[in-house]
Amino acid sequence: MLFLSFSSVSAKTLGELEKELQDKKNELSENKAKQNLTEQEMNTINNNLKTIQGNINQIQIDTTNLEKEILNFNEEIAKKQEEIKSIISYFQISSGESAYLEYVMGAEDFTDFIYRSAVTEQMTSYNNSLIDDYNATIKANEDKKAELAQKKEELKEQQSAMKAEYKKLDKQLSVYTSDEMVITD
């Protein structure tokens, strides 16, 4: 009795080997293209991070300048309020009544009365508008400061998101690099 043992021999043809080689070359070039694209994305993110950091620095400078302006306006307002208080206090102490009313009533004739009324009205209006203007300026500066703080927070969030994306792309690049080593082996 004859026992024949057949072992399966798998031999590849030259065409199959060439096809495998071409597939590996294609895979390698595709991998390199992905690496280049990932590196470009990483460079873009780096540039965006630099821009965001520059914007954050500028916002800090703007915030500092606005805080100085606000302090200056507060000092001016305090001076004006003291000036107005002293004027009103002087008139009230000297006459015991409203200084403006006494000034108007001290007119010698009707023309002088109209003139004094107009002057009193203008002085009152000027003092009130001056205070209102200063308060409006302070309000605008505080609003600007809040806006800058919000913008700074948004930029920090963008910066964090970009850093996370950069790390993700860095990991992806490592995978492509290790795949390239496997392909070339």
- Per-residue pLDDT of 67-82, as tens digits, reads 787 777 778 777 766 7
Amino acid at 92: Q
Residue 97 corresponds to which tokens in the numbers above? 């009544």
> 176 near 31, Cβ under 8 Å?
yes
pLDDT number for residue 34: 85
pLDDT number for residue 97: 47
pLDDT number for residue 181: 67
C-alpha 28/C-alpha 72 separation (Å) is: 66
C-alpha 119/C-alpha 150 separation (Å) is: 46
pLDDT number for residue 19: 92
**What DSSP line would sit under 70-129, residue for residue?**
HHHHHHHHHHHHHHHHHHHHHHHHHHSS-HHHHHHHT-SSHHHHHHHHHHHHHHHHHHHH
Q: Does residue 1 surpass a pLDDT of 60? A: no
Please state the pTM of the whole predicted model: 0.51
Q: Bigger pLDDT: 160 or 55?
A: 160
Q: Bigger pLDDT: 60 or 15?
A: 15
Q: Does residue 124 surpass a pLDDT of 70? A: yes
Q: Does residue 2 surpass a pLDDT of 70? A: no
Q: In this predicted model, what pLDDT tens digit does every residue of 140-152 receive, in sequence order?
A: 778 877 887 887 7
The pLDDT-based confidence of 62 (bands split at 50, 70, 90) is confident
Q: Does residue 111 surpass a pLDDT of 80? A: yes
C-alpha 42/C-alpha 37 separation (Å) is: 9
In the chain, the percentage of residues whose pLDDT exceeds 70 is: 76
pLDDT number for residue 45: 80
> 39 near 180, Cβ under 8 Å?
no
C-alpha 92/C-alpha 174 separation (Å) is: 83
* Span 157-179, average pLDDT: 80
* Span 54-63, average pLDDT: 80
